C-alpha cells in the first residue's frame, strides 16, 4: 500500500456530481494516509506461562497472534492498512513478580522484541518492558533498551506491589525517561484485590471480573494513577516527562474540567497545574475506542498534536478501528494525518 500517492480530482458538470466526487476523493486520500498504531501487543513464552484473570476467557487464536512477531502479524497489518506497529509486551504480570524474576523476564521480552524490530525495521518499533519491582534495574534496562536496542519508550503496567509510579522508589525510572527523552505508556492492569472485593464481587458468573477489567475497572484505575502523577508533583519535578494514556485517555477527558474546578477549592496553583500538565505532559491514544462520542470529548480537552491512533492488537483487530479513524467526520484531513501518523512519527522519532 502506497502512503505517498495523492488522489486526483475529476471535473463534473453539476454541483451534485462535484460534491460526490470530492467525497470519494477525500475517502481515497484518507485510505492512503500512513498509519502508525501505538498500542499493539506481543507476548513471550515466559509471559504466557503466567496467564491469569480474564485472559483465560479469550479465544486461543489470541495467544498465537500475541506470539507472532513476523509474517502473520504483518499480513494482519497489511489487511487493514497499518504501516507501523509500536509494539509492547502484554506483561501485566511483571509488576507482581519478585525482582530477579521480573528482571530476567523483562530483559528476555526486550531482546525478543529487538530481534523482531531489527528484522522488520520499517514495520515495527518497540516499547520496553521494565522490571518495576527493582526500579534501579528498570532504569538501567530502559537506558539499554533505548540506547542499544533502539526502542522508543517503555510501557508501565499500573502499580507495582501496591505502589503507584509517583512513589519515591520509582524516581530512577522517571529520571531515566526524562533524560532519555522517551515517553512512558501507562497501561491498565488488574485492580487491587480489596477493590475487587468492594466493587466487583457477588455478580453472576464472570460479570464481576469482566467489569473490573476491560469493562470499567482497568480504566478508572489507570485514570487515578495518572492523576496521582499530576497531584503528587511529578511533572513539577520532571517537567519534560511524557506519559501516554490509551483508551481515549482512560476517562480523564470526561472528568478533567470538573477535576480542575474541584482542585481549585484546595489550591488554585494545583488547579492550574492540572490543566497545564494535561496539555503538556500527556498524550492520548484511541486504543479500543472507535466511536465518535468519546473521541469528541478527547478533542475538546486535548491538543490535536497529542492524540495518537492505536488499535490494541490483537485484542482489537477488527477493521472497524481503521475504518472509523479514516472516515470519522470529527477530524478534518489535516487533523486526521496528525492522529494517524504525524504525531506518532514526531513523538517516537519514526522515519516515514
Question: Which residues have a catalytic role annotated?
Answer: 312
Q: What is the DSSP letter of 204?
A: S
- What is each CA distance from 35 to 69, 118, 125, 141, in whole angstroms? 19, 20, 13, 29
Count of CB atoms situated within 10 Å of the CB of 53? 14
Instruction: With beta carbons less than 8 A apart as the criterion, state whether 174 and 142 touch.
Output: no
Helices 252-266, 292-301: inter-axial angle, 10-degree rounding: 40
Q: What is the DSSP letter of 94?
A: G
- What is each CA distance from 18 to 12, 21, 23, 81, 307, in whole angstroms? 5, 5, 9, 28, 32
Instruction: With beta carbons less than 8 A apart as the criterion, state whether 102 and 134 touch.
Output: yes
Say how far apart CA 156 and CA 160 lie, in whole Å.
9
Q: What angle do CA 62, 63, 66 make, to 5 degrees?
A: 85
Question: Long-range pairs for 58-62 at CB < 8 Å and ≥24 separation?
Answer: 58/315, 62/314, 62/315
Say how far apart CA 348 and CA 330 lie, in whole Å.
25
Say how far apart CA 249 and CA 306 lie, in whole Å.
11
Amino acid at each position: 500500500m502506497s502512503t505517498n500517492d495523492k488522489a486526483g480530482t475529476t471535473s463534473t458538470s453539476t454541483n451534485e456530481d462535484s460534491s460526490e466526487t470530492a467525497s470519494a476523493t477525500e475517502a481515497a486520500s484518507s485510505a492512503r494516509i500512513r498509519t502508525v498504531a501505538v498500542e499493539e501487543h506481543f507476548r513471550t513464552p515466559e509471559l504466557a506461562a503466567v496467564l491469569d484473570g480474564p485472559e483465560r476467557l479469550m479465544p486461543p487464536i489470541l495467544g498465537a497472534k500475541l506470539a507472532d512477531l513476523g509474517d502473520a502479524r504483518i499480513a494482519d497489518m497489511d489487511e487493514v492498512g497499518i504501516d507501523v506497529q509500536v509494539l509492547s509486551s502484554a506483561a501485566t504480570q511483571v509488576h507482581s513478580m519478585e525482582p530477579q524474576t521480573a528482571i530476567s523476564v523483562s530483559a528476555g521480552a526486550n531482546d525478543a522484541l529487538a530481534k523482531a524490530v531489527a528484522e522488520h525495521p520499517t514495520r515495527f518499533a518497540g516499547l520496553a518492558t521494565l522490571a518495576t519491582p527493582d526500579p534501579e534495574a528498570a532504569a538501567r534496562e530502559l537506558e539499554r533498551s533505548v540506547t542499544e536496542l533502539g526502542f522508543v519508550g517503555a510501557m508501565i503496567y499500573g502499580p507495582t506491589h501496591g505502589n503507584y509510579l509517583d512513589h519515591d522508589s520509582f524516581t530512577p525510572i522517571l529520571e531515566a525517561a526524562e533524560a532519555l527523552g522517551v515517553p512512558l505508556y501507562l497501561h491498565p492492569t488488574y485492580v487491587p484485590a480489596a477493590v475487587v472485593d468492594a466493587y466487583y464481587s457477588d455478580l453472576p458468573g464472570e460479570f464481576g471480573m469482566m467489569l473490573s477489567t476491560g469493562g470499567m475497572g482497568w480504566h478508572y484505575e489507570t485514570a487515578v494513577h495518572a492523576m496521582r502523577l499530576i497531584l503528587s508533583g511529578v511533572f513539577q519535578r520532571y517537567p519534560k516527562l511524557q506519559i501516554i494514556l490509551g483508551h481515549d485517555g482512560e476517562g480523564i477527558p470526561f472528568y478533567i474540567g470538573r477535576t480542575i474546578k474541584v482542585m481549585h477549592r484546595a489550591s488554585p496553583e494545583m488547579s492550574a497545574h492540572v490543566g497545564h500538565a494535561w496539555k503538556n505532559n500527556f498524550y492520548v491514544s484511541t486504543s479500543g475506542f472507535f466511536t465518535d462520542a468519546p473521541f469528541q470529548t478527547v478533542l475538546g480537552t486535548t491538543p490535536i498534536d497529542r492524540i495518537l491512533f492505536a488499535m490494541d492488537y490483537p485484542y482489537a483487530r477488527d477493521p472497524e478501528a481503521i475504518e472509523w479513524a479514516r472516515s470519522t467526520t470529527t477530524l478534518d484531513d489535516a487533523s486526521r494525518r496528525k492522529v494517524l501518523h504525524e504525531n506518532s512519527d514526531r513523538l517516537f522519532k519514526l522515519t516515514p
